Amino acid sequence: MMSSKKSNRSSAATKIKTTKKTGRQIQKKEIPPDPEKLAELKKYEKVIREGIIKYYETGALLQKIRDEKLFELRGCDTFSEYCKKTFNFGRAYGYRLIAYCRVWNLIKANDDDKIPERVIRSLSMLKTDEEIRQCWEEAKEEAGDALPRYKEIDELVKEKKRLSLMESKQFDPNDKEMMFFASIRTSVSKEDVATGIIEASGSSFRKIYNSIKEAQDQGVSFTEADEKKLRKALIGTLDSVFKKQ
């Protein structure tokens, strides 16, 4: 009996790993993988590599691999390491596919529904399950018998995110003197929208550009002087980038 215990212990190999943060080497005993779980993992990996399933189904398999820590069977310490090593894509893409699966399940879509990936991607930008369901139902109601299109979904998602941000910033939508901009996450005076955008943008081209689009969507008509001011600010952000180089 004693010799049997010793042989089982010796079957666990010792692996030396170097941690990324501290650079310290640690010894880690590797337990032989469960044959059934390993076979299951190999089946999932084969299906994902072949690309014969839909994007949300790929997300479901990745979620199972992550949640059940099946990635450890490949000698990986993290799901991120596993994604890179096994499929050559980053953690962000893996989690994005998992998010798509979550959205698909929430909207209770049928397998026959040909919902484009970018529609699901847009819905996945919403934080809560309730927001996702509500946005989808509103889009379906507007679309009638047809499947909601990306453009309608994207506009609804942007508006819901904007309203949610306004609420978090305690901005009153009925304020007659101020106007809220999600792109710069603050409100500016309606008397001088252009200056307010520029001052709150932090010299960010993207923030200025997106705020201009937001302003136009909210019915703002810029004067010729405002347009010159905004163009100058946009060009100035580009000049600062080249100066840094």
Asked if residue 139 lies in contact with residue 110, where contact means CB atoms within 8 angstroms, the answer is: no
List of residues 6+ apart from 123 with CB closer than 8 A = 103, 107, 132, 135, 136, 153, 157
Q: Do the domain assignments include residue 127?
A: yes
Same domain, yes or no, for 142 and 199? no
Determine the pLDDT at residue 5.
Answer: 43
Q: What is the pLDDT of residue 207?
A: 93
∠ CA 101-106-108, nearest 5°, is: 95
100 and 59 housed in the same domain: yes
Q: Do both 240 and 174 map to the same domain?
A: yes
Same domain, 176 and 143: no
Quick one: 134 and 194 in the same domain?
Answer: no
User: 82-93 pLDDT, tens per residue?
Assistant: 999 999 999 899
Contact between 147 and 113 (Cβ < 8 Å):
yes
As for how many domains the chain has, the answer is 3
Looking at residue 20, its pLDDT comes to: 54
In a domain, 4, yes or no: no
Instruction: Please indicate, yes or no, whether residues 61 and 75 belong to a single structural domain of this protein.
Output: yes
The answer to whether residue 51 is domain-embedded is yes
Final residue in a domain of this structure, among 56, 84, 106: 106
- Does a structural domain hold residue 201? yes
Residue 52 counted as domain residue: yes
Q: Whole domain around residue 84: which residue ranges?
A: 34-106
pLDDT of amino acid 159: 87
Answer yes or no: is 122 within a domain: yes
The tokens of 237 are what?
Answer: 């952000």
Mean pLDDT for 12-17 is: 53
Q: How confident is the model at residue 8 (pLDDT cuts 50, 70, 90)?
A: very low
Q: Are residues 154 and 193 in the same domain?
A: no
pTM of structure = 0.65
Span 160-186, pLDDT tens digits: 888 888 888 889 888 999 999 999 989
Give the pLDDT confidence of 233-242 residue by residue, as tens digits.
999 888 766 6
Question: 1 in a domain, yes or no?
Answer: no
29-82 per-position pLDDT tens digit: 566 778 899 999 999 999 999 988 888 899 999 999 999 999 999 999 999 999
Same domain, 121 and 71: no
In the structure, what pLDDT confidence band is assigned to residue 243 with cuts at 50, 70 and 90?
low
pLDDT greater than 80 at residue 6: no
**pLDDT tens by residue, 116-167:** 889 999 999 998 899 999 999 999 898 887 888 899 999 899 888 888 888 8
